[in-house]
Amino acid sequence: MDHGQSKTLLLFGATGDLAKRMLLPSLFALHADNLIAADLRIIGTARSDLDDAAYRAMAGEALAKFLPDARKDDATIASFLERIGYQPLDASTIEGFDALAAKLGDVSGGMSIFLSTAPFLFEPTILGLKSAGLAGESVRIGLEKPLGNDLASSCAINDAVAEAFPESRTFRIDHYLGKETVQNLMALRFGNMMFEPLWNANGIDHIQITVSETVGLEGRHGFYEDTGALRDMVQNHMLQLLALTAMEPPAELDATAIRDEKVKVLRSLRAVSPAESVRGQYGAGAVGGTAVGAYADDLAKPSDTETFVAIKAHVDNWRWQGVPFYLRTGKRLAERRSEIVIQFKAVPHNVFAPRGGKLVANRLIIRLQPEEYVRLLVMAKEPGLDRGGMVLREVPLDLSLTDAFAKAQRRIAYERLLLDLVDGDPTLFVRRDEVEAQWRWVDAIRKGWADGAVTPKSYGSGGWGPSAAIALTERDGVSWND
Ligand code: BG6
């Protein structure tokens, strides 16, 4: 049974970085805009021994630090902090959960849990929640990554969660699905007539998906060193972008229909051969004019973890036969940028050639961040009398979403996802079969690397990754959209 809007939101990891940077500011924005019910209580929990007042003070400091200035309003912050309470908990033992239940009181009116925790704490936390009566029918759980680091460990976590929460009450978070422009991908594909008829192997030559970052380790040494770019970014965010780009139109815009279509794509991914993947690790260099050190120096020891990965992927179904999907992501690259580039095929015959007219095939660029735009590059004739031949040039048909919707409030991903969690809408959360298909594909890539003793190639910080990543596309006659 669906319990609709929750009356309580329980935040694990309430004193952590994610809570301070993202969750509290997002909840504040929802509060300020009256998007969450006035009687929704927010209870934080973590190991630190704080009381309500001390946690409110900590939350207040986090808001002061991370809210944009335009959002800061003392009275609204004060009324938001009144909603918040705190209960200390050592989630590794079952004892503290009864005190947590006592603090929460009656949750039969509906509770949503946001669980972000170290992998080894998933199982005890679920057990604790169950034993304290905090996993009943009226409770749903949102799970933040990392949810395991391969198929086996992900299954173990999912099994442990499933002991207490059925799939219908389990909401796996991939924050990329909460991004406005990722939502826009569906509007673009399924709300317009002109793209869909060409959106297949007849019309498209290849697709590129880039998620590049300028940041390095950001203090997450232990986590990142055990994870690497393939598992940190490709397994989740990039494969979700690929699935949304490649999926068939769903019959309806509901959770089952959309996720059914995505999982079909994820299951159609062809195993990647070692020659179709590139691992990289950043060396010293300069990013945005600032000199930065190598990964191994940041880590203070040599390492075999990749901070960059490029992959030539294939979706083995009718629609995408013969269309490569080039994926790349990395830290300490030239720019922060997430984009999907659809490279259309060339027209079948260039009628302008006898008059010197050169054609470039159309390209659609969907920029997800930091700017938000959709740009279609089309051919046009340069004005003139063309005595020396006809000059054709690529010009952009630009849709700047930032300008077109300048008045609309921009929302960060967690605002949407927290609201959907509290409202009980699972559409933008990842279903178990999707996660497992993602891991299966990624595990096989890692096995290929291990079998072939493939170590990361060094690349200079501030560039676009190792030269092998350039060769990966160039040998197909394709250039990355840099
Ligand atoms: C996280 C990764 O999931 O996504 C980080 O763990 C990465 O390493 C981040 O920096 C990128 O998210 P965004 O929203 O800044 O593109």
Measured CA to CA, the distance from residue 22 to residue 416 in angstroms comes to: 12
Q: What's the CA angle centered on 289, arms 287 and 290, to 5 degrees?
A: 70
H or E element in which residue 256 lies: helix 255-267
Q: Which atom of ligand 1 is nearest to the CA of 215?
A: 10
Sign of torsion over alpha carbons 270, 273, 277, 281: positive
Measured CA to CA, the distance from residue 220 to residue 238 in angstroms comes to: 20
Q: What pLDDT band is residue 376 in, cutting at 50, 70 and 90?
A: very high
Burial of 470 (0-12, 13-18, 19+ CB in 10 A): middle
Residue 265's identity, in one-letter code, is V
Is the domain spanning 8-173 CATH 3.40.50.720? The answer is: yes
Task: Give 149 Cα–ligand 1 centroid separation in angstroms.
Answer: 16
- In this structure, what token pair is assigned to residue 89? 């908990």
Task: Give 100 Cα–ligand 1 centroid separation in angstroms.
Answer: 31
The sheet with strand 41-46 has its strands ordered as: 84-88, 41-46, 8-12, 111-115, 139-143, 170-172
pLDDT in tens, 157-183: 999 999 999 999 999 999 999 998 888
pLDDT in tens, 212-256: 999 998 888 889 999 999 999 999 999 999 999 999 999 999 999
Does 452 score more than 60 pLDDT?
Answer: yes
Residue 429 CA: distances (Å) to CA of 61, 92, 122, 293: 30, 27, 18, 37
**206 carries an active-site annotation:** no
Q: Which atom of ligand 1 is nearest to the CA of 211?
A: 16
- Fold classification of 177-411+432-474 is Dihydrodipicolinate Reductase; domain 2 (3.30.360)
To test the pocket of ligand 1, the residue of 18, 143, 176, 213 to mutate (highest count of ligand atoms within 8 Å of its CB) is 213
**How many residues does the structure list for the chain?**
482
- As a whole number, the mean pLDDT across the chain is 95
pLDDT for the residue numbered 389: 87
Q: Which residues line ligand 1 (CB under 6 A)?
A: 213, 232, 338
The model's pTM is: 0.96
- Check residue 322 and give left, alpha or beta (phi > 0: left; psi -120 to 50: alpha): left
For residue 267, give every residue at least 6 positions away whose Cβ sits within 8 Å of its Cβ, in sequence order, or none: 437
Measured CA to CA, the distance from residue 416 to residue 477 in angstroms comes to: 40
- In this structure, what token pair is assigned to residue 19? 């809570």
Listed in order, the ranges of the chain carrying CATH 3.30.360.10 are 177-411+432-474
Task: Give 370 Cα–ligand 1 centroid separation in angstroms.
Answer: 13
pLDDT for the residue numbered 2: 58
Listed in order, the ranges of the chain carrying CATH 3.40.50.720 are 8-173
H or E element in which residue 292 lies: strand 290-292
Please state whether beta strands 139-143 and 170-172 pair in parallel, antiparallel, or not at all (unpaired). Answer: parallel
Q: Which residues pair with 212 in a beta bridge?
A: 330, 337
Q: Helices 239-246 and 432-451: crossing angle, nearest 10°?
A: 120
pLDDT in tens, 92-120: 999 999 999 999 999 999 999 999 988 88
- In this structure, what token pair is assigned to residue 98? 């009864």
Backbone angles phi, psi at 212, to 5 degrees: -105, 145
Q: Active site residue: 3, 221, 237, 314, which one?
A: 237
pLDDT for the residue numbered 221: 87
SS3 call for 417:
helix
pLDDT in tens, 312-347: 999 999 999 999 999 999 999 999 999 999 999 999
pLDDT for the residue numbered 183: 87
Residue given tokens 């793209």 in the structure block: 195
